[in-house]
Amino acid sequence: MLEYFLLFGGSQKYKELNIHVEEPIKILEEIATSNILQELPFFIFDKPFSSLLITLARGDGRVEPTFIKSKTPLSFKEDILEELIRNEIIFIEYSREEPLKEYDKQKIKKEFKHYNIQNKIRFTTPFYHFLFAFIIPYQRDDFTIDILKAKEAFRKNRNRVLSLWFEHLSKELVSVVFPNLKNCSSYWDRFSEFDLYCEVEKNRYLVGECKYTHKPITKQELLKLEAKIKKSELNSEYIAFFSKGGYSKELEKLKRENLLLFNLEDFKKLITS
């Protein structure tokens, strides 16, 4: 059930199809042959909106690179984003990175002279992400879907989409574990990216990494994360991992109070909270 939510969550239209099949790839075919697209805001299927949303579904969401890769003029940026936000297709996740300069004449390192802090565009629901990753790119001129190409894309890229929405669900789990949560989102800067950076209590922070794979997380990955935290100079009273594949015995034996290891069983808390 978790995987179904990570792919299709947030869509009442999808629920209305009353699809009862065992494999998500079969749901893809059902959606592609249904009239569900006719019930969504029509403008999102036309350029430049469709080009931008398809690029967003395949990229990291940084605003300007997404516009450039989709060949959408940056001069249209404000109007396009405003329309998509107003229709609740996307939202903007703002960078939490501190500016490189504290004052105008401050000198910065040569390698960062052309560095710009970027916000990110995010889909509001997994279902919109699913549509623009696996359905809309394979729509023919007669509005039918090339099912074979859509299925092939799904087989190759489903894990990337699942991983992103697993991060979102992990954020919800943090809010259950830490009821005084102040702020929780991903974090990126000129050095690294972090799946979660949360102020769980006033001036107390959690850095989290989410892995939606069958491979157990090891102590080596903890050491890598700690090195990234140090380089980015983040506060980290807690380090948390959220893992589908569990953890190595070496990592579980550490028993550190500031190290939190969540597995799929912990996500049941979201059902009862």
Regarding the domain delimited by 2-102+116-165, which CATH topology (the fold level of the hierarchy) does it fall under?
Arc Repressor Mutant, subunit A (1.10.10)
**Do 205 and 238 form a contact (C-beta atoms < 8 A)?**
yes
Domains 2-102+116-165 and 178-272 share a fold: no
* Beta pairing class for 204-211 and 238-243: parallel
9 vs 57, residue with greater confidence: 57
201-235 per-position pLDDT tens digit = 988 999 999 999 999 999 999 999 999 999 999 99
The identity of residue 51, as a single letter, is S
Show the beta-strand stretches assigned E in the chain: 90-93, 120-123, 183-188, 193-201, 204-211, 238-243, 259-263
Candidate from 26-30, 56-60, 130-134 with smallest mean pLDDT:
26-30
Candidate from 66-70, 139-143, 161-165, 205-209 with smallest mean pLDDT:
139-143
SS3 234: coil
Residue 216 DSSP one-character state:
P
Single out the residue of 212, 163, 203, 156 nearest to residue 183, CA to CA: 203
**Do 226 and 194 form a contact (C-beta atoms < 8 A)?**
no
**Do 17 and 36 form a contact (C-beta atoms < 8 A)?**
yes
User: Hey, where are the domains in the chain?
Assistant: 2-102+116-165, 178-272
SS3 71: coil
The 3 state secondary structure assigned to 84-139 is: HHHCCCEEEECCCCCCCCCCCCCCCCHHHCCCCCCCEEEECCHHHHHHHHHHHHHE
Structure tokens at 4: 């179904």
Would you place residue 255 in the very low, low, confident or very high pLDDT band (cuts 50, 70, 90)?
Answer: confident
Our measurement of the distance from residue 17's CA atom to the centroid of its chain's CA atoms, rounded to an integer in Å, reads 25
Residue 235 DSSP one-character state:
-
Regarding the domain delimited by 178-272, which CATH topology (the fold level of the hierarchy) does it fall under?
Trna Endonuclease; Chain: A, domain 1 (3.40.1350)
Structure tokens at 5: 């939510």
Calculate the average pLDDT of the chain: 85
Structure tokens at 50: 């469709």
Helix axes 24-32, 147-177, angle to 10 degrees: 120
Would you place residue 193 in the very low, low, confident or very high pLDDT band (cuts 50, 70, 90)?
Answer: very high
- Tell whether omega for the bond before 48 is within 30 degrees of 0, i.e. cis: yes
Phi/psi region, residue 10 (left: phi>0; alpha: psi -120 to 50; beta: rest), is left
**Do 89 and 41 form a contact (C-beta atoms < 8 A)?**
yes
152 vs 112, residue with greater confidence: 152
Single out the residue of 63, 60, 68 nearest to residue 84, CA to CA: 63
